[in-house]
Structure 1
């Protein structure tokens, strides 16, 4: 069984996920744009994996947008996105909070009609390995 470890930006929260991810979606809906402050959210989903908080469980805060299924969990200290269980049978893990590598390509991109126009320019934008000089 696979074990994946992750944490928040400030390190107050650490966790492990035991089991395999079923899918990996990159979502461009307006809700995901607003709660990430970016063009999309990148989330892994698992129906049979288990989440274990290793440290900082008391710092995990959750928010559900009223009248929607959109929810997220985050560290109350640094605001980093953290795993969430939107239903009893589904675990959602933001891909960026994992510290261990995953060998899963995105299953699909969702709500591409909401993708910002500037995303299309990313393919031809200059790239740097770190900060530009």
Structure 2
């Protein structure tokens, strides 16, 4: 059994995930673009892992976009994305909130037909190890 730990940006919320992840999707749908402010969301999914809040559970809130299954949980203090169990029997963990390494590669890109136009040529963009001067 693999366990993972994670937290929000401000450290108010900490948690553990006990168990294995089934899949790791990079979602390019427009809902995920809006709620991450980026090209895609990176979420891990599990039907068997258990989420344990270690601190700040009272600072976790959730939002479901009306008329959809799109939902997210986040810290009320700093806004960081956090694990959610809004779909019965399914744990969804944003990869970026984990403090431990993820051994698995993403399973797939999903909703790739909605990719941001600017994402198509990212391989041509310069890369810097830190903030460029």
SS at match of 1:77: coil
SS at match of 2:31: helix
The corresponding residue for 1:9 is: 9
Q: Distance in 2 between matches of 1:122 and 1:21?
A: 28
Q: Distance in 1 between matches of 2:32 and 2:47?
A: 21
What is the Cα deviation at residue 88 of structure 1?
2.1
TM-score normalised according to structure 2 size: 0.98
The corresponding residue for 1:76 is: 76
Q: Distance in 2 between matches of 1:101 and 1:88?
A: 26
Contact (CA 8 Å) 1:12, 1:59: kept in 2 or not?
A: yes
The corresponding residue for 1:43 is: 43
What is the Cα deviation at residue 8 of structure 1?
0.3
Q: Deviations over 1:50-101 (max 9, x none)?
A: 0000000000000001111111000000000000013221000000000000
Structure 2 portions without partners, runs of 5+: none
Structure 1 portions without partners, runs of 5+: none
SS at match of 1:86: coil
